[in-house]
Amino acid sequence: MRAALSRFSTEKPVLVYAIVALLTLVCGAMIAGIRIDTDPENMLQADQPDRVYHNEAEERFGIHDAIVVGVVNETHPDGIYNADSLSVLHELTRRIETLDGVVVADLMSLASSDNISQEGPGVIRFEWMMKDAPVSDDEARAIRAKVERLPMLVDTLVSGDGQAAAIYVPIESKDLSYPLSQEIRAIADSIETDSDIHITGLPVAEDTFGHDMFVQMGISAPLAGLMIFLLMLYFFRSPVLVIAPMLVAMATVLITMGILIGMGFTVHIMSSMIPIFLMPIAVVDSVHIMSEFADRYTSERTAKETIREVVGHLFTPMLYTSLTSAIGFLSLLLTPIPPVQIFGAFVAFGILLAFLLTIVLIPAYVVRMKPASLAKLDRPAEATAVDTPLARALRVAGRTAVRHGKLITAAAVVVIAISVAGIYKIEINDNPVRWFKANHPIRVADRVLNDHFAGTYDSAVVFSRDAEGARLQFVADARPLAEVLDPGVQSTVMAELDASGDDIGAYYGNLIAAIDDALFEVVESEQVLRLEELMSLAEAAQFDSKYFQRPDVLRSIEQIQEALQASGYVGKTSAVTDVVKVVNRELRGGDPANYVIPDTPEAVAQTLLQFQSSHRPHDLWHILTPDLTSAAIWVQLTSGDNKDMSRVLDFLDAYLEENPLPPDVEMHWAGKNFINVVWQDNMVNGMLSSLGSAFAAVFIMMALLFRSIRIGLLAMVPLSITIVGVYGIIGWIGKDYDMPIAVLSSLTLGLSVDFAIHFIERCRALMRHSGSFDTAMREVFEEPARAIARNAIVIAIGFTPLFFAPLVPYITVGAFMAAIMALSGVTTLIVLPALMSWAGPWLFVEQRRQGVFTAAAQPA
C-alpha cells in the first residue's frame, strides 16, 4: 500500500493536487455553516441525568436565562435610594419591558415589584413598590424603608448596602440575548445619570464568548500559521521547502474543520482550538520529509526516485508518531464531556489526515518542482560541521548527559519528587466567567455586582415529595364507596377517580368537583352519606398531597436555609418560607415577632392565597409548584468558582446526613452553578481514565515498535516526566486545574512521545551502524537532535500567538503547550541519554550482545 501510494502521488501529481484541492474546497465550503456553541450545559451529554433533572427543574419552576442589569451608585449617601438613581431604574425597567423577546411577566425589578404594608391598625395595603419614579429623595428614602421590610428583595433586587439595584431580564430564547443586550445597552447609554449601569448575566457572557472565539479562530490561528512559516523559513532558509508543509497544514485544517462543521457538530471552545493544534502537528511530518529530501537529493538522481526512497524510509516512524499522537487525543473520548470528545476525535482525525496528506501531497509537490528549484537543493548534505548556537548547545548537552548519567538521573528523580508534591497541591476549580480576562466588562460587572449583592450565581435545592403512592392508596380506599353510587352520578365520579395523577393538583380538584356536583344531584340520604364520605376522603387526600404547606416541613426547610446561611458559604437563600413569613407578619400587624411560619397548614395555605392576591401571583411558582408537591430553595453565591459551589454541596450533604429527610422526600440540586460542578467532576474523573488508557496504549505501541518492553518503558520516560513536571508546576504556582489544563495531559502524551520515538530510533540505527554506543551517542546529537529541537521549537513557538487571544483558556493552552514542548524536548535530549549511559546494556539487550557497549568510540 505504501508503495502504491507513493507511486500514485509521484506518477499523477496533478491528479493528487486536483483531489486535495477539491476536497479542501468542498470541506472548506462547509465551514460557512458554522454554529458556535457557548452553552456550558453542553459540557454534559443531553441525556446526562443531572442535566436532565436541571432542565426539568428549570421548566417546573419557570426559570428563564436572564440578562442582569445593575444600577450602581457608590457616591450618593443613600446609595441608589435617591430620586435620580431610582428614576433611572424605573425608566430602564419600563423601556426594557417593551423589548420583544423579554419575558415581561417574570422580569424582576423594584419598578415591577409588589409591596405589602401596614396602613393603620388592622388595615393592610397591597400595591406596587414603585409604580411611578420617585420625584424627591424623601420619596426614594421611603421606598428604602419599604424594601428593607421585604427579605425577598434585599440582596436580590437591591443590595444590602443600598448602593446597587438589579433588574433581572428573563429572555424567551438564548438567541435573543445578543440583540437584546445591545438594545439594553443603547437604552442605558441614552439615559443621563450619575449612576453606573452594568449589563451582564450568563446569556450575555455566552454571546460575548462566542464572539471572542471567532476572533480567536480568525486571528490567532492564521497568526500561528504565519509564525510557523517564518520559523521554518529561518531554520531551512528555503521558501520552496517550507511552502509544501504549509499547504499540508492548511489543507488539514480546512478539511478537518469542514468535516466537523459539515457533520453538524457545533464549534465549542475546545473545537475552536483544533486549527491551532493541527497546524504545528501537520507541519512537523512534512518538515521531516522535506529536510531529508533536501539532504539526499543530488542532481544524479531524479527527484521521483529520491522522494520515493525518503517516504519509504520515513513511513514507519511517521506512522507511529502520528498514531501515538492520535491515540493521545482519541483517549479524550473516554472523558464524558461532548466538546472534549469532539475535540479529541477531530484532532486525531486531523493528525492522521495530515500524515496521509504528507505522504501523498509532498511527493507530488516535489516531482512538480521546477529543475531550477531542485538545483538549489542540490547542495552538500548538511555536514557534521554545522556550527550554529543550537548545534553547539546540543553537542554540549549530549556530552554532559552521557558523562553525568547517574547524577542527571538522580536530579530527574528529585524533580519528579518535587513535582509529585506539587500535584498534591493542585486545586480543582473552574469558573466560566474567569474565561474572560480580568478587565473585560463582563468580569468588571461580575465583580461590582457580587461586591454589593449576596451573589449573582444561582443554584437550587429542589425537594419533591412522591404523591403517587398516597394517591393510589386513596383510590383503593375510595373505590368501594364509588362503586355503590347511583348509576346517574357514578360514571362521572368514577371517571375522575380513575383519571391520571400526573397533575396531582388537577386530579384532586376535578374529583372533588365531580363529587360536589353529584352531591347536588342525588336525593336519597344513603347516597348523600356515601358521597359525603367520599368527599371527606378526597379532601383529606388532597390536603395530605399539599406537602409543602405543612408547617413542620416548612420549618425544616427554614432550618436548612439557616444552616446554609450560617455555614458562611452562601450569600443568601430564598424559599417559600420567606414568602409565608412576610405575609404572616404583615397580616398580623407587622410585628417582627410574627416573622414566623404559622402553626397550621390551613394558615399557611391562606398566607399563600394572600400572596397570590398580588400583581405577581406567578412569582410563587418559581419556588413552589402549584400542587405543592415540590419546592425549591434558591441559593445565591457571590462566586462562580466550582470549588465554592462544591463546598456548599458537601455542606448540605453532611447536614442531611445529620438531619435526614423523610423517606418519601427526595432532594436534588439544579441550576447552572451546580451543572458546572457536575461537568467538572466528570472531567477530572474522565481525564484520569483518558490518561491511563492512553498511557497504556502508547506503551503497548512503543513495545511493539521497538519489539522490546524495556525500550518501550524507556520511550515512556520523557512524556511521564513532562506530564508529572507540568502538573507539578501547576500545583506549585497555584493555577487552578480547569478544563484547558485537564486536556493538556493527553496532548502531552501524544506529542512528547514523538521525540522519544525519533531519538531512540535514531540511537538504535546509529548503534547498529557504528557498532559503538559512545559513537552513536555523539552522532545522535548532530542532525537527529537538531531535528528534535527544531520541531520542539516550531511547535512551542507556533502556539505563542495564543498569548494574544482574547480569552483566558487559549492563553493558558498556549503557555502550557510551549512549556510542554520545552520540557519534553529537554527530557528527551538529556534524560534519555543519561539513562542510557548507565542502564543502556540492560535496556538494549540485542545491542549488548553485539558488543556495542564495550566497543571503543570511533573517532569523530
Does residue 131 interact with another protein by CB under 8 A? yes
Nearest distance, CB of residue 172 and another protein, angstroms: 11
How far apart are the C-alpha atoms of 748 and 824, rounded to whole Å? Answer: 8
Contacts 24+ apart (CB under 8 A), 478-484: 478/534, 478/537, 478/538, 481/530, 481/533, 481/534, 481/537, 482/534, 484/530
Minimum CB separation of residue 600 from another protein in Å reads: 6
600 in contact with another protein (CB under 8 A): yes
At residue 485, the 3 state secondary structure works out as: coil
If the CB atoms of residues 595 and 655 are measured against another protein, the closer one turns out to be 595
Residue 140: what residue type?
Answer: A
Nearer to another protein, 521 or 653 (CB): 521
Q: Which of 8, 17, 128, 595 binds another protein (CB under 8 A)?
A: 128
Write the single-letter amino acid at 340: V
| Span near another protein by CB under 8 A; candidates 116-124, 339-347, 693-701, 771-779 | 116-124
509 or 771: whose CB is closer to another protein?
509
User: What is the Cα–Cα distance from 408 to 414, expressed in whole angstroms?
Assistant: 10
Query: Exposure string (b/e) for 516-539, b if CB count within 10 Å is 16 or more?
Result: eebbeebeeeebeebbeebbebbe
Residue 331 near another protein by CB under 8 A: no
Cα–Cα distance for residue pair 529/704, rounded to 1 Å: 87
Binding string, 548-577, against another protein, x = CB under 8 A?
-x----------------------------
> Is residue 674 within 8 Å of residue 807, measured between CB atoms?
no
Sequence-ordered alpha helix ranges (H) in 164-302: 177-190, 202-215, 221-236, 239-262, 274-296
How large is the angle between the packed helices 551-567 and 576-587, nearest 10 degrees? 110
User: Binding string, 356-395, against another protein, x = CB under 8 A?
Assistant: ----------------------------------------
Residue among 521, 481, 460, 471 at smallest CA distance from 674: 460
Residue 606 near another protein by CB under 8 A: yes
Cell of 555: 420549618
How many residues are listed for the chain in this entry?
Answer: 860
Residue closer to another protein (CB basis): 41 or 544: 544
Of these, 31, 352, 603, 811, which contacts another protein (CB under 8 A)?
Answer: 603
Contact between 680 and another protein by CB under 8 A: the answer reads no
Residue 123 lies near another protein (rule: CB under 8 A)? yes
Q: How far is the CB of 201 from another protein (least distance, A)?
A: 21
Name the amino acid, one letter, at 525: S
Window contacting another protein (CB under 8 A); options: 166-174, 511-519, 637-645, 670-678: 511-519
Q: Is 122 in the site for another protein (CB under 8 A)?
A: yes
Residue (495 or 700) nearer to another protein, CB: 495
Task: Closer to another protein by CB, 601 or 728: give it.
Answer: 601
- Show the beta-strand stretches assigned E in 371-507: 457-465
Min dist. Cβ of residue 104 to another protein (A): 6
What whole-number distance in Å separates Cα of residue 424 and Cα of residue 403? 34
Contact flags string 76-115 toward another protein, x per CB under 8 A:
----------------------x-----xx--------x-
CB of 82 to another protein, least distance (A): 22
Site stretch for another protein (CB under 8 A), options 222-230, 238-246, 282-290, 503-511? 503-511
Which residues make Cβ contacts (< 8 Å) with residue 192, sequence separation at least 6? none
Beta bridge partners of 352: none
Q: Is 132 in the site for another protein (CB under 8 A)?
A: yes
**CA of residue 535 relative to chain centroid, distance:** 54
Of 32-40, 368-376, 542-550, 778-786, which part binds another protein (CB under 8 A)?
542-550
Amino acid at the residue 454:
A
Stretch that binds another protein, among 2-10, 414-422, 595-603, 694-702 (CB under 8 A): 595-603
444 binds another protein (CB under 8 A): no
- Closest approach of another protein to the CB of residue 103, in Å: 8
DSSP letter at 219?
A: I
* Residue selected from 195, 542, 673, 708 as contacting another protein according to rule CB under 8 A: 542
- In the complex with another protein, the residue whose CB is nearer, 262 or 505, is 505
User: Which CB sits closer to another protein, 529 or 609?
Assistant: 609
Q: Which of 2, 7, 35, 125 binds another protein (CB under 8 A)?
A: 125
- As given in the structure block, the three cell numbers for residue 646 are 462544591
Would you count residue 598 as binding another protein (CB under 8 A)? yes
Within 10 angstroms of residue 417's Cβ, the number of other Cβ atoms is 12
Specify the stretch interacting with another protein by CB under 8 A; choose among 85-93, 118-126, 438-446, 659-667: 118-126
- Tell me the H-state helices in 459-575: 468-483, 487-497, 504-521, 525-545, 551-567
Nearer to another protein, 416 or 522 (CB): 522
User: Does residue 490 bind another protein (CB under 8 A)?
Assistant: no
Q: Which stretch binds another protein (CB under 8 A): 219-227, 233-241, 600-608, 691-699?
A: 600-608
For residues 595 and 821, give the distance between their C-alpha atoms in angstroms, rounded to a whole number. 63
3-state secondary structure of 637: strand
810-816 long-range contacts (CB < 8 A, ≥24 apart) are 810/216, 810/220, 810/273, 810/740, 812/735, 812/738, 812/740, 812/741, 813/273, 813/740, 813/743, 813/744, 816/726, 816/740, 816/741, 816/744
Q: Which of residues 608-637 bind another protein (CB under 8 A)?
A: 609-610, 612-615, 617-618, 620-621, 625-627
Cell 473552574 identifies what position? Answer: 430
And the C-alpha cell for 109? 425589578
| Residue 509 near another protein by CB under 8 A | yes
β-sheet bridge partners, residue 165: 71, 158
CA angle 733-750-807, nearest 5°?
50
C-alpha distances in Å from residue 453, one per residue of 202, 433, 496, 776: 16, 17, 49, 68
575-594: which residues touch another protein (CB under 8 A)? 584, 587-588
Work out whether 512 is an interface residue with another protein (CB under 8 A).
yes
Instruction: Report the residue from 441, 501, 505, 590 that binds another protein according to the rule CB under 8 A.
Output: 505
The residue behind cell 430602564 is 92
Rounded to a whole number of angstroms, the minimum distance from the CB of residue 562 to another protein is 24
At 815, list the grid cell.
503557555
Q: Stretches 161-169, 235-243, 537-545, 657-665: which one binds another protein (CB under 8 A)? A: 537-545
Residue 55 or 612 with smaller CB distance to another protein: 612
Does 786 bind another protein (CB under 8 A)? Our answer is: no
Site size toward another protein (CB under 8 A) is: 55
Q: Which range touches another protein (CB under 8 A), out of 149-157, 289-297, 470-478, 606-614?
A: 606-614
The residue assigned the cell 482519541 is 330
Q: Among 730, 705, 697, 696, which residue's Cα sits nearest to residue 823?
A: 730
Residues found near another protein in the complex (CB under 8 A): 59, 62, 98, 104-105, 114, 119, 122-128, 131-132, 503, 505-506, 509-510, 512-513, 516, 520, 539, 542-543, 546, 549, 584, 587-588, 598, 600-607, 609-610, 612-615, 617-618, 620-621, 625-627
